Amino acid sequence: MKKLATLVILFVLTVGVLSLSSCQKIDTDKFSLVWEDEFDGEELDYTKWHFDGRYVDGKNGAPRNGGYWVDDAFKVEDGNLVMTTEWREDGDFGAGWYSGVLSTAYYDYGGETNGGFAQKYGYFEIRCKVPAIYGSWSAFWMMPTDNFANANTEYLNTGIDGTEIDIFESPFYYDIFMRQTVSHAVHYDGYGEHLKSAPKTGVNVPNLYGDFHTYGLEWTENYYKFYVDGICTWTVTDEKYKNRQGETVYQNIVSQVEEYIILSSEVVNPEEEGGTKGWCGDLAKNDKSKKYDFVIDYVRVYQLNQ
């Protein structure tokens, strides 16, 4: 997931394909539930979720940005998945901020997916409560199953190489004016020199940190529609046309491939941001004795009725 400053700059490159209208309330009657986790058991269902991080030198995770993703940063209790960000003085990697990441697909970091759940098109929804923390963000997002391994110039502006779809991120606790907001974003054409991004920031969510809210994505061949508490907050649309050979060509930032779901919390890397304050605030302002919990009530996936 990319830094806010980069998103704002690159937004200019994609504004021509964005639409912010004709989008109200999600119509769930046109969908059928095909996958879900209500987190009602006593422990995480590892047939549905995988720790989506490397293991380094036999330790239970790996560095990520300014902290560490580890496989003991989450638990199931009281019908919720709880993913914790906390300062560990004696963590496996030394003193630092530790948090977690889970996905519905397992891959071997060479681009090959070895199982798990992924889907092309449909409606994807989470109900959750995010932590009030500086320099960190929780997210519900999606990635193509090859993790952009096949992104190249042949597929530019087609959606054939997939898209990173950030259904929501919560990086704005540090900003008194943006504090009660989340963001949506899409990143496409790989993570290399052809990367393009489009953000939607400033999406207001009343009592963001105190209440549970739903965040959803309606995804079809031709558009994304993003939702907060069932109300549409952003639409991304595309055009397709026939070339001279009669082939369908997409001027497209909408993914045309299966994607898997990711739940994560992470902290900014201040060193990359030129000081102690990163793009989402200053980690030093947090209470190191406190745990900051990303609490997830459910994740549900639907397919469009035929």
Instruction: Give me the mean pLDDT over the 79-85 stretch.
Output: 98
pLDDT of 168 higher than 90: yes
Percent of the chain with pLDDT over 90: 66
Q: What is the pLDDT of residue 19?
A: 40
pLDDT-derived band of residue 17, with 50, 70 and 90 as boundaries? Answer: very low
**Weakest-pLDDT range from 30-34, 67-71, 112-116:** 112-116
**H/E stretch holding 51:** strand 50-51
Torsion 73-89-265-297 (CA) sign: positive
Determine the pLDDT at residue 133: 97
Q: What is the largest CA-CA distance in the chain?
A: 64
CATH number for the domain that contains residue 224: 2.60.120.200
Give the model's pLDDT for residue 157: 83
Residue-by-residue DSSP string for 33-45? EEEEE---SSS--
pLDDT score at 259: 96
Q: Is the pTM of this model over 0.85?
A: yes
Number of domains in the chain: 1
Reference 126, options 28, 209, 230; nearest CA is 230
Q: What share of the chain is helix, strand, coil (3-state, %, to 5)?
A: 10, 45, 45
In this structure, the chain runs to a length of 306
Cβ(78)–Cβ(38) under 8 Å? no
Query: Domain range holding 120?
Result: 4-304
Pairing of strands 231-237, 18-19: antiparallel
- Per-residue model confidence (pLDDT) at position 3: 46
Q: Quick check: 211 pLDDT over 50?
A: yes
Highest average pLDDT, of 151-160, 207-216, 232-241, comes from 207-216
pLDDT confidence band for 286 (50 / 70 / 90): very high
